[in-house]
Every structure is written in C-alpha cells, then in structure tokens.
Structure 1
C-alpha cells in the first residue's frame, strides 16, 4: 500500500544525509584551508560547530569565496 508519509520521510532522510555531508565537508575545508593568522579560523570553526547548517551555509557563501579570491584561484 502506498503511504505518502513514508515517501516524505525518506525524502527527509536524503536531505539529512546531504546536509550532514555538506556540514562535514565545510568544517574540514575551514580547518584545513583557512589561514592560521588572526582569529578567522577559530571563529568560523566555532560558527560552523555551534550553528551547524546555518554556519556551514554562511561559510560556504560568504567566507569561502573571499578566501579563494584572496589566494588568487
């Protein structure tokens, strides 16, 4: 029997897996590629850890492009 709630729940599972993988990738990117000068690395790591999805999205769309532009890629 077709249950639309089960289909919805499976869709949410997929979104949760994607969000977790994205969060881990952004956290690793921040820890490994952010400059050790100043407090940017520590601040962004704390933002990503304590506001997981919002912090990861902010880092990806705000800080990461600035860092990439600064190193000339």
Structure 2
C-alpha cells in the first residue's frame, strides 16, 4: 500500500512541475513554485493546486 501511495505522490509532483513550467508565469515565479512543491511536497502541492500559476493555454 505504501508503494502505491508513493507512486501516486510521485506522479502528482511530476504533473505539478510540468504544469508549473508550462504556465505563463515569470521564470522567477516558476522556480519558486517548483522549489515549494519539491521542498514541501504535500503542502506545496496543495497550495500550488489552488493558488499557483495557471496554464498558459486558456
């Protein structure tokens, strides 16, 4: 069970990072969001999901 949760967590973090770098935010903002998601994995992901930069293709 822990393995499955770890895989899900990894997939969500990778998905968040890809979306961060595809967003229309400035380079500095992208780096800060990416560091937040990497350093604080669960909290950073949740904060990014609700308040992070949105996709450029809107």
TM-score under structure 2 length normalisation:
0.71
Name which one, 1 or 2, has greater alpha-carbon Rg: 1
Higher helix share: 1
The number of aligned residues is: 58
Uncovered stretches (5+) of structure 1, i.e. residues with no partner: 1-10
Instruction: Give the RMSD, CA atoms, in angstroms.
Output: 2.2
Matching of residue 60 in structure 1 with residue 49 in structure 2 = yes
Structure 2 gaps, min length 5: none
Question: Is 1:47–2:36 an aligned residue pair?
Answer: yes
1:24 aligns with 2:26: no
Q: Which has the higher contact order (CA 8 A, sep 6+)?
A: 2
TM-score normalised by structure 1 residue count? 0.60
